[in-house]
């Protein structure tokens, strides 16, 4: 049955392809999201479908649909499987975004090799490097497999031709901004080109039941480059994060149609490649034979995953009228607030001292549950008295000095016990800390002064 359409005109207008902002006249920069070159004309005649077409495949009862065809396929990288919810889903399209040099290509090349070693054909399309350059990196990280195929392509038609010829089970495109279609105007990486490339690759993935991994660039503010439509079209959006001078890399799922988005994967990026870290807490805790003042260990939750981290503080008499306040890995405004609470509510005089507060291993702590550990580290540095060994502390500190409950108290305690800690100072809560492991001591405090009296005196 032929499709019939009718024409309906509307007033000329322009719309931003990134955020949907509309304007009556064309502008080079969106007035809402400030994106350049994203405003396109939307006025004129619009075709609307008024008649149904012939049904090629009738609808089926949901109970008759075979769900085994969409079962998870393990990648061989446990930390990636944890974030994805169990592995790769056939036909799923996954977008991996991250800053340049963070390790996206290294991670995906490792995934491609391990998946190919399960006798599955994998096609790795690189638009940023030559095949020889990828092969050099594969030799370095031991990511060579017989079923792994490389193709250096920047033309969308050629890339789809490679897919048609090989029919891989897994397709990796590095990156989606480097491919361009000859049928669409604009340069590679532009709004129209990225939209066309993504739509074509997604259609091929769904039609062939082929899992597809797309690498995406990010802008200066850390958001994914290209139209926001790209994030809505794909099934999973992952962010690969890490400091350039740190070996630790964190993988988070921002969007996941097949699993949770509150888990995090930890990786160690080194000269031999990238490896998953089942227990990354060792990177964030220093190893000293003798206890040192000004240090306190806390347990933070990254999604659903508890991680141990160490906070260090150093106080020195200031030679300036305005003391220096320096932080690393912590929110500077949050630390300044805790210094004020220590002085006003706990009588800890800090207005004449330069204060330096940092985390170990380059980890960033933004959770309010680290407040108590920061305050105890600063107080320990001021008193020049080390805190007890094998002690952890966590809890949110308010402006009145009260220590408020935080989520996952029992989960944090069990993680600390698993890693050999024996004492914990936690916020008092109506339901208590829950079941405590044998041999583990827990002290609940309701105010910052209680914690200081207990540990420092």
Query: Of the candidates 228, 279, 276, which has an alpha carbon nearest to the alpha carbon of residue 251?
Result: 276
Residue 439 counted as an annotated binding residue: no
Distance between CA atoms of residues 215 and 191, nearest Å? 16
Quickly count: other Cβ atoms within 10 Å of residue 223's Cβ.
14
99 is in an annotated binding site: yes
In degrees rounded to 5, what are phi and psi of residue 443? -120, 125
- Known binding residue 185? Answer is no
100 is in an annotated binding site: yes
**Is 234 annotated to bind ligand?**
no
User: Is 63 labeled as ligand-binding?
Assistant: no
Contact 442, 413 (CB under 8 A): yes
Query: What is the residue-wise DSSP string for 267-315?
Result: EEEETTEEEE-S-GGGGTS---SS--TTEEEEEEEETTEEEEEEEEEEE
DSSP letter (8 states) at residue 427: E
- What is the three-class DSSP state of 64? helix
Residue 10 annotated as binding? no
Backbone torsion region of residue 424, taken as left when φ is above 0, otherwise alpha when ψ lies between -120 and 50, otherwise beta: beta
Rounded Cα–Cα distance for residues 336 and 344 (Å)? 12
Return the HEC string of 311-356.
EEEEEEECCCCCCCEEEECECHHHHHHHHHHHHHHHCCCCCCEEEE
SS3 call for 36:
strand
Q: Is 111 annotated as a binding-site member?
A: no
Binding residues: 98-105
Binding residues for ATP: 98-105
């Amino acid at each position: 049955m032929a499709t019939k359409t009718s024409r309906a005109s509307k007033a000329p207008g322009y719309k931003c392809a990134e955020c949907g902002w509309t304007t009556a006249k064309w502008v080079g920069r969106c007035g809402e999201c400030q994106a350049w070159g994203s405003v396109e004309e939307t006025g004129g005649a619009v075709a609307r479908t008024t008649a149904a077409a012939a049904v090629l495949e009738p609808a089926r009862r949901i109970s008759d649909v075979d769900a085994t065809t969409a079962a998870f396929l393990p990648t061989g990288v446990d930390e990636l499987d944890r974030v994805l919810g169990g592995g790769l889903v056939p036909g799923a399209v996954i977008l991996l975004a991250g800053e340049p040099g963070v390790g996206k290509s290294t991670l995906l090349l490792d995934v491609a090799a391990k998946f190919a070693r399960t006798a599955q054909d994998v096609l790795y399309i690189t638009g940023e490097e030559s095949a020889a350059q990828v092969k050099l990196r594969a030799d370095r990280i031991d990511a060579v497999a017989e079923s792994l195929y490389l193709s250096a392509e920047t033309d969308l038609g050629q890339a789809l031709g490679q897919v048609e010829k090989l029919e891989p089970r897994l397709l990796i495109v590095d990156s989606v901004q480097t491919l361009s279609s000859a049928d669409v105007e604009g340069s590679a990486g532009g709004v129209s080109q990225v939209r066309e490339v993504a739509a074509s690759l997604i259609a091929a993935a769904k039609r062939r039941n082929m899992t597809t991994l797309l690498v995406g660039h990010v802008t200066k503010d850390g958001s994914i480059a290209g139209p926001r439509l790209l994030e809505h079209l794909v099934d999973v959006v992952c962010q690969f994060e890490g400091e350039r001078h740190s070996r630790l890399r964190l993988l988070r799922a921002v969007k996941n149609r097949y699993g949770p988005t509150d888990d995090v994967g930890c990786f160690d990026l080194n000269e031999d490649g990238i490896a998953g870290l089942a227990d990354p807490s060792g990177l964030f805790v220093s190893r000293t034979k003798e206890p040192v003042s000004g240090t306190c260990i806390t347990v933070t939750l990254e999604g659903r995953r508890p991680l141990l981290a160490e906070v260090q503080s150093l106080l020195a008499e200031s030679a300036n009228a305005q003391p220096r306040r320096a932080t690393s890995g912590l929110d500077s405004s949050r630390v300044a607030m805790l210094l004020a609470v220590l002085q006003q509510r706990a009588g800890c005089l800090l207005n004449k001292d330069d204060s330096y507060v940092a985390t170990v291993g380059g980890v960033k702590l933004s959770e309010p549950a680290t407040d108590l550990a920061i305050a105890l580290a600063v107080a320990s540095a001021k008193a020049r008295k080390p805190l007890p060994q094998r002690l952890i502390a966590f809890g949110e500190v308010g402006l009145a000095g009260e220590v408020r409950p935080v989520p996952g108290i029992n989960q944090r305690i069990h993680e600390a016990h698993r890693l050999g800690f024996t004492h914990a100072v936690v916020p008092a809560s109506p339901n208590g800390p829950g079941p405590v492991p044998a041999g583990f001591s827990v002290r609940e405090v309701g105010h910052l002064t209680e914690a200081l009296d207990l540990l420092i005196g």
